[in-house]
Chain A
Amino acid sequence: MTTSYLKLAGGYVYDPLNGVDGQVQDIWILDGKIVAPPGPGVRAGRVIDMAGYVVMPGGVDMHCHIAGPKVNMARKMRPEDKRQSTFVERTLNTHSGTMGSVPSTYAIGYKYIGLGYTTAFDAAVPPLSARHAHEELEDTPCIDKGFFVLTGNNHFVMKSLADEEPGKLKGFLPWLLGAAKGYAPKLVNPGGVEVWKHHPRGNVDTIDQTVDYYDVTPRQIISGLTRTANEIGLPHPVHIHCNNLGMPGNYTTTLNTMDALEGHNGHITHIQFHSYGGGEGEEETFCSRTQVLADYVNSHSNVTVDVGNIMFGETTSMTGDGPLGYYLHNVYGTKWFSADTELESGCGIAPIKYRNESLVHGLQWAIGLEWYLLIHDPWRVVMSTDSPNGASFLAYPQIIRLLMDRTYRNEILKTVHPEVVNRCILADLKREYTLNEICIITRAGPAKILGLKNKGHLGPGADADITVYLPHENKQIMFELPKYVFKSGVLVVEDCEIREPLQGKTYHVDPDYDLEIEKDISDWFEKYYSVRFSNYPIQDGYLHEAEVVECETKDD
């Protein structure tokens, strides 16, 4: 914490939330927060000259896989992925680590902050394993963090919906988020994972299919959880990984899913993987359907998306979508990890290599870029690679270059499978992102969609998480190596070196609920869980630095 003013003087400031678009300004910081300029006569204890530099809020990654059981399984399963990769050497005050597609915890913290990202959310944690995720996040330094809680195949949720007891759901959901000390409900292949648990190769094909045992459809799960989450007033109501990820023709499922939000706010994640036309299992007809989905998003203000780009190269696919893991394992013939968590979720992990000679992979790459270019309002589309699924978060600078530099984009497009240009409209898209728009899709937008009021901007009251770049014609170079990164007002990174490895805090929600529900949940545990009800919730001791983000219940 700074004890006197720190002034970042005279940089080109990008703060889209507050309408600042590259104007030369000073940023004043006190006690980890950005403050209004204190007026004439007040001198800052430290002034850093930012003349010529670009000053932005710290990056916010709203969808990545950085902590918890599946991430750690991927680490354990893939020594070969690390052996071929660089590593992080220990220094006097920073730990060593391994890289590859799934870096070790300390390495993740250092690499995110080194990239100028100061906040990241893990996208899929089974609540039964929440304690594990919290332990790993505590070992992930330098950034603020949190995670989403898997709810889309939770038996209590499905039972409440099947029994038409919305009151129970309204009690259970906040209880569950509070117990896990998680941030938002995450739906992964809602209902489909439960079908997978019942049948070999099991899955749902549409959102109107009935889920085994519970007489409930994915549509009901999506609508029910979305409605309830919005009623509770969660800062980020629902985060949805649609059914049928990766399948040709799945764009109809995605459209139906957006429809099933019934006008409530909802976020569709890694939508690139859900934007495909074509017949079932057919490479012949596989094509982009981004335009029709983007039209829907452009005309429905309740929907936001993150992209989930793929980039060419080798990575690890990891998902709460059990049947998807099996599918990928069969397609690529790789090793495969699968773990079903009782009453809650599934998990699939498989190595994957995206090749530019592959028509499917080339299209996936192009579709990701189409998404950024076809959404009119940059506040509603967020940069993500679903790290490490599409690529590592370390690919973000390259994506920025692809968006800001049409010539470069077209050059790369020429290197992919020749048929790609005929199956998508990327070649026709002339749009180039501005720095201001990049600032929106990498920090201001995701912070707003997450409901983090102190992130993603540089106005008074914001956390002093600030990234400073040296402008460069090649935007990849510019964004790869920030000159300075400040976290909570502390200079953490200077010239690619970690100066002060801060801890960073964990964000979670703690919504109110009717205590009556606990009796029901406790009976449920007694009957079906393998752990005791009293040992399930995360005790406060697991959170070392934490902040509760308040819910805002509507007046009605």
Chain B
Amino acid sequence: MATVTTDASQQEPELKIVEDATCTFCGCVCDDIELTVKGHEITQAKRACVLGKAWFLNHSVDDRPSCLIKGQPASVEEGIERAAQILTQSRYPLMYGLSDTTTESQRVAVSIADWVGANVDTTTSVCHGPSGMAFQGVGEVTCSLGEVRNRGDLIIFWGANPAESHPRHFTRYSLMPKGMFVPNGRKDRTCVVIDVRKTKSANTADIFIQLKPRSDFEALWTLRALCAGVELEAEQVLADTGVELAVWQDLMDRMKGSRFGVFFFGMGLTMTRGKHTNTEALLALTRDMNQHTRFVCKPNRGHGNVTGADNVVAWRTGYPFGVNLTRGYPRFNPGEYTASDVLARGEADAAIIIASDPMANFSERAREHLKSIPYIAFDPKETPTTRNAEVAFTVATYGINVPGTVYRMDDIPIPLRPAFDCHHPSDLEILQAIEARVQEIRVQGFQSTEENTSLRPARELPDGSIAE
């Protein structure tokens, strides 16, 4: 760990510097932050953006019990026992969240989901889930962020506003850096912002194209047509997209003229009318562009480790989100097995919510149902979700108190360098204990049931017969 301790007087808390610390606030996952730490306080976060500074400098360890059962202080051990009981007694447990914690914790969480036959879903289903589905339709042409930094000469933001959501996106990856093949940095790049309103990001753009709201799909297909050399009617294009055909033609000329073009897209594309068909259109356009030049695209992912959650759920189950394990093996169906839908239909009879706050942002019907079932919540802070939980764990914060791994929005895994310890346990420790207890209960259940066949697979012999 690259920590340097400077001498301090005996009364003063120890002062230390953490170099190359990683900020987990957004999907940029900047790993070049220099933290000055005084005891249990971060006093400086060099190179962090305004969001990162707020993340590090305002961090305080909540002065709450590490565990509450039905709102009453309890020991962590009691909480673990209660959690294991809830999960093993449930017939249809739901696991949700996962995107604001380490992959180490995500892996244990998905293990638990498997052992108890849960429905597991992540916050991807309410942000870039449609991008994941579009990807399954047409694929994706993409790259790591360093490729954009070294090569990107035409950068297009579509329905994304990194100036406010990912403040260091421009300076670290997409616009300002001097790269291998763009040695003059910003001067060698053209920036285009396409959005329904003039966002803060539009101020940085060389070209801003203001779309008619809810016309992303039409606009993207206009570009696909122009890419393929299809003649379009100017009036129709203007009516469909709110933008002159000449503007789209100019953009397409620039796209074909670029050496390495990049689309960054945000929830302005994925969560507006058309949803996954919008993303599919953008992915297909990017693919088409590779007949003419090199072109890539990338969703601007939000949560610090939502990309890790996609990866872990995918390598454990084969599917990226919205996975149902109740039959004893993974099944995938967004809309059916996505958490907000499961809850809104009143289906789950218990839940485990990790590093997420559905009580603050799900639909009323989903919230009402969640409130009516016993659930376990993990969060460093008190939230509407922890307030209504049967078991609420206050946990240490990843990246500040807890080490581990986080996947940047471009799937690059980056290690965390925590600043200081915290008296709350990590979610990893608690999840591991819950997993161990769940397995104990399963084994006991197995041993006490003589005729138990549900836990034991049929054995197929070489001759095709089935043994007990």
Q: Do the two chains belong together in a single complex?
A: yes
Q: Is the CB of B20 within 8 A of A534?
A: yes
Q: Is the CB of A87 within 8 A of B329?
A: yes
Return the CB mask of A195-235 against B: 1 if under 8 Å, else 0: 00111110000000000010000000000000000000000
Q: Is the CB of A335 within 8 A of B294?
A: no
Q: Is the CB of A532 within 8 A of B455?
A: no
With A76-B132, A76-B310: A198-B294 Cβ-Cβ less than 8 Å:
yes
With A79-B136, A90-B329, A495-B459: A530-B145 Cβ-Cβ less than 8 Å:
yes
Q: Is the CB of B135 within 8 A of A342?
A: no
Q: Is B346 an interface residue (CB 8 A)?
A: no
Q: Is the CB of B115 within 8 A of A90?
A: yes
Q: How far does the alpha carbon of A387 sit from the alpha carbon of B432 in the complex, in Å?
A: 33
Name the residue in A90, A91, A470, A472 with the highest tally of chain B Cβ atoms < 10 Å from its Cβ: A90
Min CB distance, A95 to chain B, in Å? 5
With A128-B412, A530-B412: A197-B146 Cβ-Cβ less than 8 Å:
no
From B260, which residue of chain A is reached at the shortest CB distance? Answer: A197
Return the CB mask of A57-87 against B: 1 if under 8 Å, else 0: 0000000000101011101111110110001
Min CB distance, B87 to chain A, in Å? 14
Residues of A within 8 A of B330 (CB): 87, 96-98, 104
Q: Is A417 an interface residue (CB 8 A)?
A: no
Return the CB mask of B406-438 against A: 1 if under 8 Å, else 0: 010001111100000000000000000000000
Q: Is A497 an interface residue (CB 8 A)?
A: yes
Q: How far does the alpha carbon of A274 sit from the alpha carbon of B14 in the complex, in Å?
A: 62
Q: How far does the alpha carbon of A76 sit from the alpha carbon of B128 in the complex, in Å?
A: 13
Q: How far does the alpha carbon of A338 sit from the alpha carbon of B132 in the complex, in Å?
A: 15
Q: Is B144 an interface residue (CB 8 A)?
A: yes
Q: Is B22 an interface residue (CB 8 A)?
A: yes
Q: Is the CB of A535 within 8 A of B103?
A: no
Q: Is the CB of A132 within 8 A of B149?
A: no
Residues of A within 8 A of B172 (CB): 530
From B132, which residue of chain A is reached at the shortest CB distance? Answer: A76
Q: Is the CB of B150 within 8 A of A89?
A: no
Q: Is B462 an interface residue (CB 8 A)?
A: yes
Residues of A within 8 A of B310 (CB): 76
Q: Is A106 an interface residue (CB 8 A)?
A: yes
Min CB distance, B179 to chain A, in Å? 7
Q: Is the CB of B442 within 8 A of A92?
A: yes
Residues of A within 8 A of B145 (CB): 342, 530
Q: Is the CB of A528 within 8 A of B139?
A: no
Min CB distance, A133 to chain B, in Å? 9
How many chain A residues sit at the interface, stated as a range, is: 35 or more
Min CB distance, B65 to chain A, in Å? 30
Q: How far does the alpha carbon of A274 sit from the alpha carbon of B318 in the complex, in Å?
A: 31
Q: Is the CB of B311 within 8 A of A132?
A: yes
Name the residue in B330, B443, B459, B467 with the highest tally of chain A Cβ atoms < 10 Å from its Cβ: B330
Q: Is A350 an interface residue (CB 8 A)?
A: yes
Contact residues, B4-36 vs A (CB, 8 A)? 19-20, 22, 31-32
Q: Is the CB of A199 within 8 A of B144?
A: no
Q: Is A337 an interface residue (CB 8 A)?
A: yes
Q: Is the CB of B294 within 8 A of A200?
A: yes
Q: Is B460 an interface residue (CB 8 A)?
A: yes
B20, B150, B179, B442: the one contacting A532 at CB < 8 Å is B20
B22, B146, B293, B461: the one contacting A530 at CB < 8 Å is B146
Q: Is A255 an interface residue (CB 8 A)?
A: no
From B116, which residue of chain A is reached at the shortest CB distance? Answer: A90
Q: Is the CB of A104 within 8 A of B456?
A: no
Q: Is A103 an interface residue (CB 8 A)?
A: yes
B146, B287, B294, B315: the one contacting A75 at CB < 8 Å is B315
Q: How far does the alpha carbon of A96 sit from the alpha carbon of B442 in the complex, in Å?
A: 15
Q: Is A398 an interface residue (CB 8 A)?
A: no
Q: Is the CB of B139 within 8 A of A350?
A: yes
Q: How far does the alpha carbon of A530 sit from the alpha carbon of B332 in the complex, in Å?
A: 34
Q: Is the CB of B293 within 8 A of A532?
A: no
Return the CB mask of A86-130 against B: 1 if under 8 Å, else 0: 011111100111101011111100000000000000000000110
Q: How far does the alpha carbon of A76 sit from the alpha carbon of B316 in the complex, in Å?
A: 11
Q: Is the CB of B411 within 8 A of A342?
A: no
Q: Is the CB of B290 within 8 A of A200?
A: yes
From A131, which residue of chain B is reached at the shortest CB distance? Answer: B413
Min CB distance, A81 to chain B, in Å? 9
Min CB distance, B304 to chain A, in Å? 15
Q: How far does the alpha carbon of A472 sit from the alpha carbon of B461 in the complex, in Å?
A: 14
Return the CB mask of A13-26 against B: 1 if under 8 Å, else 0: 00000000000000
From A133, which residue of chain B is reached at the shortest CB distance? Answer: B413
Q: Is the CB of B328 within 8 A of A75?
A: no
Residues of A within 8 A of B294 (CB): 197-200
Min CB distance, B453 to chain A, in Å? 11
Q: Is B137 an interface residue (CB 8 A)?
A: yes
Q: Is the CB of A69 within 8 A of B411?
A: yes
Q: Is the CB of A481 within 8 A of B415?
A: no
Residues of A within 8 A of B142 (CB): 337-340
Q: Is the CB of A96 within 8 A of B329?
A: yes
Q: Is the CB of B291 within 8 A of A477?
A: no
Min CB distance, B132 to chain A, in Å? 7
Q: Is the CB of B461 within 8 A of A496?
A: yes
Residues of B within 8 A of A98 (CB): 317-319, 329-330
Min CB distance, A215 to chain B, in Å? 15
B179, B318, B325: the one contacting A82 at CB < 8 Å is B318
**9 additional A-B residue pairs with CB within 8 Å, beyond A89-B329, A531-B412, A534-B20:** A72-B315, A76-B136, A79-B318, A96-B329, A96-B330, A97-B329, A98-B317, A131-B415, A135-B405
Interface pairs A-B: 5 shortest CB-CB = A342-B146, A98-B318, A530-B146, A335-B139, A131-B413
The contact sample of 28 A-B pairs, CB cut-off 8 A, is A67-B315, A75-B319, A76-B132, A78-B136, A79-B319, A82-B319, A88-B329, A89-B457, A90-B114, A90-B117, A95-B111, A97-B317, A97-B318, A104-B330, A105-B316, A135-B103, A199-B294, A336-B287, A338-B141, A340-B144, A341-B147, A472-B462, A496-B459, A497-B459, A528-B180, A532-B32, A534-B20, A539-B415
